[in-house]
Amino acid sequence: MSLELVHHHADFVVLNKPAGLSFHSEFEPGLVALAEAQLGEKLYAVHRLDKGTSGLILLARSSEAAAQLSALFANGAIDKWYLALSGGKPKKKQGWVKGDMVQARRSAWMLTTAQSNPAISYFISAGLADAGRRAYLVKPYTGKTHQVRVALKSVGAALLGDELYKGGQADRLYLHAYALGFDWQGQRMELLLKPDQGDFFTSPALQQLLDQAWAKPWDLGFPFFHRQAAADAAQTD
């Protein structure tokens, strides 16, 4: 498998992770192993994507860069935006989703009303003129397992292709790591990658939305948030 190189930097590379490819090697080489073989160098994981999720993945090219990038991710200093598709009508069309996450059955998670260590996300959405599907642009401010999937499930918008959370049937999990934004060595990095897998992701209606309205997620006015303000933010709408 040949991986698409989205951005090449002296300190890191950014790749397009295909849906269905494991991050770490299991019964066959995972994304990190494939990237190392393709680029001919040691690479270091600083964040990860679920197997069914496609899109932007950043790998450090040295242990020093890995430590710095890991700290940025841990401190919420790297902005991430995810693109998702769902069927049906959500309980709300945009806003905060906040709450503690607890494990449920079958490796699933669920959102609770408790706020002791909340998963916090903000989303906007838009209807698509094809079979009642709705697109979501989600910015997670914390980094919990399955956070985006659980957040949208909690507002009645389980993702298409998400069998674990009882989303509608589809040819893939409709979740894509769409954009990254962060400051690195005095330079602002803004990276965006449109999805290229899945019939619904490549539909003309979605492509038009991305080109006309969501081409620059960092300019869309998502609320500012800092990890130290998590307790206060979790109590407001």
Q: And the tokens for 6? A: 């989205």
Distance from C-alpha of 114 to C-alpha of 181, rounded to nearest angstrom: 30
Q: And the tokens for 124? A: 């906007």
Burial of 89 (0-12, 13-18, 19+ CB in 10 A): exposed
Q: And the tokens for 202? A: 């490549």
User: SS3 breakdown of the chain: % helix, strand, coil, rounded to 5?
Assistant: 20, 30, 50
The answer to whether residue 130 is catalytic is no
In the chain, beta strands by DSSP E: 4-8, 12-17, 44-45, 54-60, 79-86, 95-99, 101-103, 109-111, 119-127, 134-140, 175-184, 187-192
Helix (H, G, I), strand (E, B), or coil: what is residue 88? coil
Tally Cβ neighbours within 10 Å of residue 143.
Answer: 14
Task: Judge contact between 96 and 159, C-beta under 8 A.
Answer: no
Beta bridge partners of 180: 80, 191
Of the candidates 11, 50, 171, 199, the residue annotated as catalytic is: 50
CA 236 to chain centre: 23
Q: And the tokens for 136? A: 């979501």
User: Which residues are known catalytic residues?
Assistant: 50
